[in-house]
């Protein structure tokens, strides 16, 4: 029996993480294997804390959207014949795009119902829908059918659809990177910029909930424990 915690040598780490991912961490660690592994574990802690905060935002988005949708389309999540998914407006090409979006939304609702009871409630289906489902409600072609008459009401007066859609799409992509434990320190990820986008969207959709989540977030502590000085300038939600 050996003393001390178990360790991995470089070959074992490469087998686990894959050569490209291991080399990424080895590179930022200046070729130091131990520092590379410490940075990988740190990245995992940051990703886990980030997933929690983005999950809180996802709940806020879906509930805000559902509130304004149900005022006009009661039970839209459990009624496949809901008028919500028959909305079309504009020229023939626009209508065709809207029709495809409607069909795609219905397909995602069908997917969300799998694993639920034979007669799921509206709330159960809404909770099972993916973040991507909500993102697709604000695409450009749905401006006249969903944004202008309904979804803009989920935001402060004057909030633009394009900005909301861009924020939601970026947050969804960020959430997916966190879920797959991708590096948070890369210039592609831009951790500080992504956290700014999370904050902006959260404050637009529910500023009270954002303040509460930011106060209880563990993300800042996780980021501050970075083993490589200067690797990221992000400080968490604030």
Whether residue 1 has pLDDT greater than 60 = no
Residue 90 region by backbone torsions, left for phi larger than 0, else alpha for psi between -120 and 50, else beta: left
Question: pLDDT value at position 184?
Answer: 87
**What is the spatial distance between Cα 178 and Cα 171, in angstroms, rounded to a whole number?**
10
- pLDDT tens digits, residue range 12-23? 999 999 999 999
- pLDDT tens digits, residue range 70-112? 999 999 999 989 999 999 999 999 999 999 999 999 999 999 9
- pLDDT tens digits, residue range 192-225? 899 999 999 999 999 999 999 999 999 999 999 9
The per-residue DSSP string of 121-171 comes to -HHHHHHHS-HHHHHGGGSGGGIIIIITTTGGGGS-TT--HHHHHHHHHHH
pLDDT band at 37 (very low <50, low <70, confident <90, very high): very high
Taking the model in full, what pTM does it have?
Answer: 0.92
pLDDT, average across residues 42-59: 96
């Amino acid at each position: 029996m050996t003393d001390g915690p178990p360790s991995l040598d470089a070959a074992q780490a490469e087998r686990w993480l894959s050569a490209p991912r291991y080399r990424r961490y080895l590179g930022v660690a200046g070729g130091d294997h131990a520092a590379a592994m410490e940075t990988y574990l740190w990245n995992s802690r940051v990703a886990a804390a980030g997933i929690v905060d983005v999950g809180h935002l996802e709940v806020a988005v879906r509930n805000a959207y559902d509130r304004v949708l149900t005022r006009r389309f009661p039970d839209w999540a459990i009624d496949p014949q809901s008028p919500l998914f028959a909305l079309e407006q504009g020229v023939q090409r626009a209508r065709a795009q809207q029709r495809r979006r409607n069909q795609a939304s219905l397909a995602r609702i069908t997917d969300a119902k799998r694993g639920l009871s034979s007669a799921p409630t509206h709330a159960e289906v809404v909770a099972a829908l993916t973040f991507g489902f909500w993102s697709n409600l604000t695409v450009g072609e749905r401006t006249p059918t969903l944004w202008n008459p309904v979804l803009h009401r989920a935001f402060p007066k004057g909030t633009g659809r394009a900005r909301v859609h861009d924020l939601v799409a970026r947050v969804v992509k960020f959430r997916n990177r966190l879920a797959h434990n991708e590096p948070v320190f890369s210039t592609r990820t831009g951790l500080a910029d992504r956290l700014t986008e999370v904050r902006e969207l959260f404050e637009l959709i529910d500023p009270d909930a954002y303040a509460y989540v930011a106060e209880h977030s563990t993300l800042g502590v996780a980021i501050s424990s970075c083993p490589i000085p200067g690797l990221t300038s992000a400080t968490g939600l604030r």
